[in-house]
Every structure is written in structure tokens, then in C-alpha cells.
A and B are shown apart, each in its own frame.
Chain A
């Protein structure tokens, strides 16, 4: 069974600060890594799907990198805004195609 970990569990930053957090997953038989943002009282929203080692993706002020050889992905938020407050989830799928596992999430609070 895949084990996906995220750190930190929660994070408080001031408006305007840049921040980043980590998703760790098994590097063997890696297939795909997903990032989602889940705001309170809303549905999870897809940010990125990444498959290639060294891949970097960007959407506005949010970007992500992927290292499949060492089994981690970083999510970066530049110039955090209060509307970025949410839980950020990552999920990993292995090459067997039988496992798609979410991490516990990083809860981000951006203080105005």
C-alpha cells in the first residue's frame, strides 16, 4: 500500500509571505502525482498533475516541482493572500495502477 506524507501538517503565514510545503511518496513504481486545494465548505480543486521527473508546473502564484527519484514534490506559493487559505492535498498513483493514495494535507492559513 502506498504511503503518502505531507509536511508540515499546518502552517500560518502573513499576507505577502512566500511559502512552500512538501509531499513525500514512494519513488519505486511511481506513475503520477496530483496536487489539490481544498477550501472550507467547497470541493477539492485540482492544481497540478505531474508525471515526469524534474517537471515544474505553474498556475498564477502557485508552482510545483517533482522529484520522482527521491520521492518528493514541493508546492510553492509566492506572495500569499488570504484567499490562499485552504488545505493542500497531494496524491500519488503507482505504476501498478491499483493504488491512488492521498496524503493527510497541509492546512495553510494566511493572516491579513
Chain B
């Protein structure tokens, strides 16, 4: 138990569906991250929020839309996804401001399958 929770743990959706992934951290951290782990590819940073402001966007397609309503919660809204978006989506949090200054604590991930 890392203090970072994610729901749902598994999600199957069609290409026309809209769904959201949720992440919550109970560690009092200031920064939260979304990562994508595709099969046989390195872990890829998608978005970073630090003190509720986005500080990084790695040219992720607009069908992925992050939302950070407060420092403890992070959402990833999904719409009109493609089968190649099927992957493990990991959330993480860390102390401090900015990108990757401190160690990150990861959630268990959401395994997403797009049909």
C-alpha cells in the first residue's frame, strides 16, 4: 500500500465510450503524474500537475484529458480512444513542485482495454 489509490483497476471500453480514471493520494504531496505503460515499451510520462497547475504535457493526443481539482485527486478523462491506447495507466505522486525532483509513489494502475 503506497498511499496512492486508483480506480477502476480494470476497464474495458469501446471506441465511442467516454470514461474516466481516478487517482487519489493520501500522502500530502504537491505533484501528481499520469503514466502509460504499453506492451514492450518503456513507462511513458503523459501529464504532470504540480500544485494543481499542469507543468508538463508530452504531446499526448487530445482524446486524453487530465483534470486535477485539488492536490489529492487526479483524473484522466478518456473519449473516442483507439485500440492502440490499450495499456496500463499508472498514477504517481511526489513532494515538492515541478517535475521529478523527488521520488515518486505509484498507484496500482488501471489496466485499460479498448475494443
Contact = CB atoms under 8 A, between A and B. Distances in A.
Interface of A: 4, 31-32, 34, 36, 42-46, 48-49, 89, 91, 93, 97-98, 100-105
Identify whether the interface residues of B are mostly helix, strand, loop, or mixed.
loop
B104 A34 contact: yes
A50 to B, nearest CB: 11
A46 B105 contact: yes
Contacts, number: 56
A47 to B, nearest CB: 8
B104 A46 contact: yes
Nearest to B2: A43
In this complex, the interface size class of chain B, counting residues with CB under 8 Å from chain A, is 20 to 34
A93 B44 contact: no
A43 B106 contact: yes
Interface in B1-53: 2, 4, 41-45, 48
A90 to B, nearest CB: 10
